[in-house]
Amino acid sequence: MLTLDKFEQASEIVKKVTTPTKLVYSEYLSSQSGGKVYLKPENMQYTGAYKVRGAYYKISTMSEEEREKGLITASAGNHAQGVAYAAQKFGCKATIVMPTITPLIKVNRTKSYGADVVLHGDVYDDACAHAIRLAEENGYTFVHPFDDLDIATGQGTIAMEIVQELPTVDYILVPIGGGGLVTGVSTLAKMLNPKIQVIGVEPAAAASMTAAIKAGGPVTLDSANTIADGTAVKRVGETIFPYAQKNIDRILTVEDDELIGAFLDMVENHKMIVENSGLLTVAALKQLDLKGKKAVSVLSGGNMDVITMSSIVQHGLIQRDRIFSVSVLLPDKPGELVRVAATIANAQGNVIKLDHNQFVSTNRNAAVELRITMEAFGTEHKHEIMKALEDEGFRPREIGAKLY
């Protein structure tokens, strides 16, 4: 069972491997929401995520015999690194099964902690099934990523730290994947102060806890296709579900597009890299009435590869009209390109890409196409640039922006 004694014990034990993640007050998010918003930056942990808490506490509860058999788990990244690092601290062997599509940086980091990595399957569920088979064949001790009460106890230590630092917290927002984190946090929070509302947040395309609550028990989703890969779980845990069902006050869902904007908010206002799953709790704030309330958003992790980061930034800038593209038709004669560029410059736009197509029409004297990608300060500024082009007679047509 999940008990206060075990949570208190776990809180002391995990201090051996965790970095103190003091709450960060967000002036930007507070001004947006009308309440006082704090961030719990678990993305700043040594392994880049909260997962080391549950992994280390779980291993601490094992017998020497269980550790000597070697540990095995399945994960797309954060749990993998948590188990690998925790196993290294206990001096035991760890094997991690990861999906074949796992970014190389996560594979290499997991290996750097001394673990053996096996790549298998396209999604977590395939990797997990393979890890269970390997455990049976080789006698390894399986460490489940979320459906384990000791794992949930370790993850729940986050709630202990939040309440100790901010005793008057009203809301704690927690990302939900398989359910281990939200189970631990919600259960302990209610033990410490039943008035605290714990709000779980899921990707809309992988809302497995929402489905489970509705059905009265875990169900398997047909798919879990979301950019929040750390929470892309088709089925929540059976063992932990009763605790989650009892202690979660509300579940919100977030669309992938909202995570893109949240990523930009974190980078620009807090200079922090937070992975898409960790941004669920930031994106969900706009769904709550926080006037006069204190809320803590748990940023569960920050393990994002640079290529994904680049793509998110590009889409975010386009989404917020800070990058946009237009097509204009103009006669093929000297000076027209300069006239377009001058119009944009006078409106404080910044051209970053030009495509000049002379063959859009058989009559080049009548029209050639110029596609311009430019930077703006936002939607209002974009409209000002478009009007400036119209006033000069260019009749601009907005098109989908692409930087590459």
Taking the C-alpha atoms of residue 56 and residue 400, their distance in angstroms, rounded to an integer, is 47
Structure tokens at 195: 């008035």
Torsional class of 118: left (φ above 0), alpha (ψ -120 to 50), beta (otherwise): beta
Phi, psi of 354 (to 5 degrees): -130, 135
CA–CA dist 103, 95 (Å, integer): 18
Sign of CA dihedral 389, 390, 393, 397: positive
- Residues 340/377, Cβ–Cβ less than 8 Å: no
Q: What is the CA radius of gyration of the chain?
A: 25
Measuring CA to CA, how many Å separate 30 from each of 24, 288, 296, 313?
Answer: 11, 12, 11, 23
Is-contact 365 332, C-beta < 8 A?
yes
Q: Give the Cα separation of 213 and 228 in Å (integer).
A: 21
Contact 130, 117 (CB under 8 A): no
Structure tokens at 96: 């991690």
Between CA 189 and CA 247 the distance in angstroms is 9
Amino acid code (one letter) for 119: L
CA distance 103 to 309: 12
Query: What amino acid positions are annotated as catalytic residues?
Result: 51, 300
Cα–Cα distance between 231 and 179 in angstroms, integer?
Answer: 9
Got the DSSP string for 192-258? Answer: H-TTPEEEEEEEGGG-HHHHHHHHTS----S----S-GGG--SS--TTTHHHHHHH--EEEEE-HHH
Identify the burial level of 94 via C-beta atoms within 10 angstroms of its C-beta, where 0-12 means exposed, 13-18 middle and 19 or more buried: buried
Cβ 58 vs Cβ 27: under 8 Å: no
The residue type of 84 is A
